[in-house]
A and B are shown apart, each in its own frame.
Chain A
Amino acid sequence: MGARYVSFILGGGKYCIPVNQVVQILRHENVLDIPKAPRFVAGVVNLRGDIVPVVDLRERFGIAKPQDKKRERIVVTSLGGRPYGLLVDEVRELVDIPDEEITPDAGAAFGERPEFIRAAARRGDSLVFFLDLERVLSAEGAKA
């Protein structure tokens, strides 16, 4: 078995989430900032009446933001039936990754925030990291 993923770029790294968790991909526009929110909360957008919190993954992971913000996108994902936006440098492609190529618990390979990574897979000569959305989107332990 395998599944299809949406891959995106943060800093120099490639990351992905399952395509069936992606609701929509938006341009980085009309994001309202949140008073007294932690830095990794980029703000909130109104997506057809749904209020979508947007998390800046660069801030979350401690990765520098790109000079050129033209390709920045918000990947709207669904967790527990509720929409969340992930602000990323650039959305790449749809990839099919067979389960047997995925190494679970590979967070350690990721360095600073291993808790946000649930697995990794090798694609050619680079790694693609599988986000642990629950943890990435958890408000616990964060500081405003």
Chain B
Amino acid sequence: MNLAGIDEDRLKRAFLEEAEDLTQKLSDSLMALEENQSDAGLINEIFRLTHSLKSESALMGFQTLAGVSHKMEDVFGRVRGGELALDRTVMDRIFAGSDLIAAMIQGIAKGGNDADFSPGPVLEGLQEYAEPAGKAAPAKARTGPAEAGASAPAQAAEAGAPAETAAGTADASGTPAAAEARAPREAAFEPGDFERQQMREARDRGETLYRITVEIDDDAAMKFPRAYLVFNNLELLVNLLHVDPPMDGAMADDGVYGKITAWFTSAGTREKIRECTDVDQIKAVDLAPLEYADLLDRAALAPAGSGDGRPKSGQTAFAPEPAPSTERRAVLEKPTIRVDTRKLDDLWRMVADLILQKAAVGRIYDKVAHAEEPHALQEELGAVVDAFEKIVGGLQATMMETRMIPIAVIFSKFPRLVRDLSRKLGKSVDLVTEGEDTEIDRSIVELLADPLTHIIRNSLDHGIEFAEERVSHGKPAKGRIRIAASQQGGQIVIELADDGKGFDEQGIRRKAAAMGIERAATMDREEALKLVFLPGFSTKEAVTDLSGRGVGMDVVATRIREDLKGEVQLSTRAGEGTQITLLLPLTLTIVRSLLVRADNHIFAVPAVAVETTQKVLASELRGDSAAPFLPMEDGERPVFFLNSLLERPARRAEEYDTVMIRHGNNRGCLVVDELLQEMELVIKPIDDLLNFRRLFSGISLREDGSIVFILDTSFIRRRENNGRQDPDR
């Protein structure tokens, strides 16, 4: 539906920001309430939160969401009035309600709809406590169509009659067949590998993902040509991913083209995109930005019981600006405003360009300053360059701060995770979090939630023992998981430690032997433990519901290393526990790097991997020429000739320029042809075609337009064992 003059997406985003805030507060308050069930302040707070959720979602036309929130409000109304005591069953149902609310909001944020969820069982569970026993439920109609429990009729009803009242759709759900007949076929897009790749690339370029639905007048005689015109216009402007019905296959019945839906990415403005639909006899246009994650992680995110999280056009009755509720505006320590993250991304790109230009201006100044005949304006130019560099530096630092958010946004989900899992497993576990205010780049946070969740699940499932076992080993009955974040230099360090039974070293060796790893029985302990990072490795024979499903430590390690350019370390003691340490960069966008030359190429070594640079004499090197090493005070280091790594002829000399690098716990000495300057590089993703051996972690441009390859310093692990295949690559 397209309401003139109202920016639907802005409204929806404003709603989502509020709603996400409210649900997080609801979840936190519920956790607190479980600790202290008689806290009247908390109960009031929860009542207020559910009330706000109800009103806002009803205003936005999310009737199912409003229905569940309303039921929660009813339950807390009774708790508040002293009519209902909070026992464990009530709490469980309340948690189920809060989970469903969070899932629906997440679904909406991903471009889906609250009606995709079946709230039936949750609503029934709450209903039992929402009304005094024996009393009828007067609010039935308000809970909307999905109260019927079946998602299919609800969807059909909603697609057929978007603007109807909840009561109206509830009627329709009574006759699902009729409702379905009225509903147009739902447009579908199941992205394949290619489309996913396209989307990832578009996301990297900063394009926005959209879905557009164009409806052609019912009485337009020739629908296909009109649909085709729109399609053609779009094709010229945007990167089409999928069109339904297809425009290029065999021509179908003209009636099919009465409504076309296309998924595409574009960096263009919404106005430009809308111009593509400037064709006569178009009835309605619905243009909606989508989250990439929704389509990319489709399988993983499909809400239970309703097929997929696919958005449907025009179902949302957008009302004017939702009145901000003043009562729940918390007292803020610092004044803040909410800014669309895409605007920040745009700003960030411009700052990145500016940083490059700053370097170019600096270079021009150097030329002027070192010219044989000093230029009359040299001093003046120098002052301008200094000021310019200062401003750009400040801009960069401030922009960087806008990208940083406290890691609490992830950590805050863990108390609930631990509570639910430990209850499910019948284990008793305390969770301690530290350093929640450590700030980390927004893009890293998004990629970090899954690996962290997985590690915690592993700890609970495989690490922490049952109470009797713990007591019999002289440990406290209650297990303990500690998650701590801190910034150490240019890195974020996240430690996840448990006091469980530790990794089963012998079990790992047995499994490795069974997998055909010949040295499994003889390799040293550290090496054996690293085997858990091998794809498909799991020491537990039976895959459990919790952390099995083929997703093991190897996936965690791959994510951390490849997506986050970080490092994973594992230390474990039998009977005492396990600690997994993640070392992460502060940001993925701009990396301070040392430029070096090898042959005719310029490479960048990220500064975080650089310890020192130094001259090394050829006579200091030991070992054979295929695997030389350098004895140093703190032990010997493998020596790598960058030219040899790249299969270029190595230059032999009496004395070498080297960079001492470290990657995780590994250290190495990298011989280069020339050490150049240190500078900040704006990293671009590197195409697979250019990175066959995974030698590079990205590519970048210098301000003079020359191309720089960013070295992935993990190569130093490869020669650790005298050329043996390193098990964790």
Q: Which residues of A contact B (CB under 8 A)?
A: 20, 32-38, 41, 44, 46, 49, 51, 53, 55, 80-82, 84, 134, 137, 139, 142-144
Most buried by A among B239, B688, B692: B692
Segment at the interface with A among B100-108, B199-207, B279-287, B660-668:
B199-207
Residues of A within 8 A of B600 (CB): 33
Counting chain A CB atoms within 10 Å of each CB, the highest count among B646, B687, B688 belongs to B687
Is there a chain A Cβ closer than 8 Å to B690's Cβ?
yes
Given A32-B707, A44-B707, A80 and B689 contact (CB-CB distance below 8 Å): no
Q: How far is the CB of A37 from chain B (nearest CB, A)?
A: 6
Q: Looking at chain B, what size class is its interface with the partner chain?
A: 20 to 34
Q: Which residue of B lies closest to A46 (CB)?
A: B705
B689 lies within 8 A of A53 (CB): yes
Chain B 666-708 per-residue mask, 1 if CB under 8 angstroms from chain A, else 0? 0000000000000000001001111011010001010001110
Given contacts A35-B709, A134-B194, A142-B692, contact A82 B687 (CB under 8 A): yes
Q: 3 nearest interchain CB pairs? A: A139-B688, A35-B646, A80-B198
Instruction: Contact check, A80 vs B707: say whether CB atoms are below 8 A apart.
Output: no
The answer for the CA separation of A85 and B601 in the assembled complex, in Å, is 20
| Sample of 18 further A-B pairs with CB below 8 A, known A37-B692, A51-B699, A139-B692 | A32-B601, A35-B646, A36-B692, A37-B689, A38-B692, A44-B707, A49-B701, A51-B701, A53-B690, A80-B194, A81-B198, A81-B201, A81-B207, A81-B265, A82-B205, A82-B687, A84-B687, A142-B692
B235 at the interface (CB under 8 A from A): yes
* Cβ-based interface call for B524 (8 A): no
Determine the residue in chain A with the shortest Cβ distance to B603: A35
Q: Which residues of A contact B201 (CB under 8 A)?
A: 80-82
Mark B residues whose CB is within 8 Å of A: 194, 197-198, 201-202, 205, 207, 235-236, 239, 265, 600-601, 646-648, 684, 687-690, 692-693, 695, 699, 701, 705-707, 709
Specify the chain A residue showing the minimal Cβ separation from B266.
A81
Q: Do A36 and B705 touch across chains, with their CB atoms under 8 A apart?
A: no
Which residues of B sit under 8 angstroms from A82, Cβ to Cβ? 201, 205, 687
Determine which of A20, A34, A137, A139 lies in contact with B235 in the assembled complex, contact meaning CB atoms within 8 Å.
A20
Chain A residues positioned under 8 Å from B707 (CB to CB): 32, 44, 46, 51
Within the complex, what minimum Cβ distance (angstroms) separates B505 from chain A?
A: 36
Q: Indicate which residue in B198, B265, B684, B692 contacts A51 across the interface (CB closer than 8 Å).
A: B684
A41 touches B202 (CB 8 A): no
Given A20-B235, A80-B202, A36 and B197 touching (CB < 8 A)? Answer: no
**CB contact under 8 A between A139 and B239, given known A36-B695, A80-B201:** no
A81 and B684 CA atoms in complex are apart in Å by 15
When distances are taken between beta carbons in the complex, the residues of chain A under 8 Å from B688 are 139
Q: Is the interface of A mostly helix, strand, loop or mixed?
A: loop
Q: How close is B646's CB to chain A, nearest CB, in angstroms?
A: 4
Nearest chain A CB to B390's CB is how many angstroms away? Answer: 25
CA distance A49 to B349 in the complex (A): 13
What residues on A are CB-neighbors of B689 within 8 Å? 37, 41, 53, 55, 84, 137, 139
12 CB contacts below 8 A, A to B, read A20-B235, A36-B695, A44-B707, A51-B699, A53-B689, A53-B690, A81-B239, A82-B201, A82-B205, A82-B687, A84-B687, A139-B688
Q: Report Cα–Cα, A34/B705, bound state, in Å.
A: 16
Residues of A close to B699: CB separation below 8 A: 44, 51
Q: Is the CB of B701 within 8 A of A34?
A: no
Kindly list chain B residues whose C-beta atoms are within 8 Å of the C-beta of A142. Answer: 692
> In the complex, A46 Cα to B207 Cα: how many Å?
21
How far in angstroms is the closest Cβ of chain A from B279?
A: 18
Determine the distance from Cα of A134 to Cα of B194 in the docked complex, in whole angstroms: 8
Taking a contact as CB atoms under 8 Å apart, the answer to whether B265 and A36 are in contact is: no
Residues of A within 8 A of B198 (CB): 80-81
The minimal Cβ–Cβ distance linking B192 to chain A, given in whole angstroms, is 11
| B708 CB to nearest A CB, Å | 10
Please give me the residue from chain B that is nearest to A48 by CB atom: B705
Cα separation A94 to B282 with both chains bound (whole Å)? 34
Cα–Cα, bound, A34→B647 (Å):
11
- B235 to chain A: closest residue by CB: A20
Q: Are A81 and B202 in contact (CB under 8 A)?
A: yes
Closest Cβ of chain A: how far from B112's Cβ, in Å? 25
| A81 interface neighbour in B205, B690, B705, Cβ under 8 Å | B205
Q: How far is the CA of A114 from the CA of B390 in the complex (A)?
A: 58
Contact of A80 among B197, B601, B648 (CB under 8 A): B197
CB-defined contacts of B693 to chain A, threshold 8 Å: 36, 144
Q: How far in angstroms is the closest Cβ of chain B from A74?
A: 14
Q: Select the residue from B236, B684, B693, B707 with max chain A CB neighbours within 10 A.
A: B707
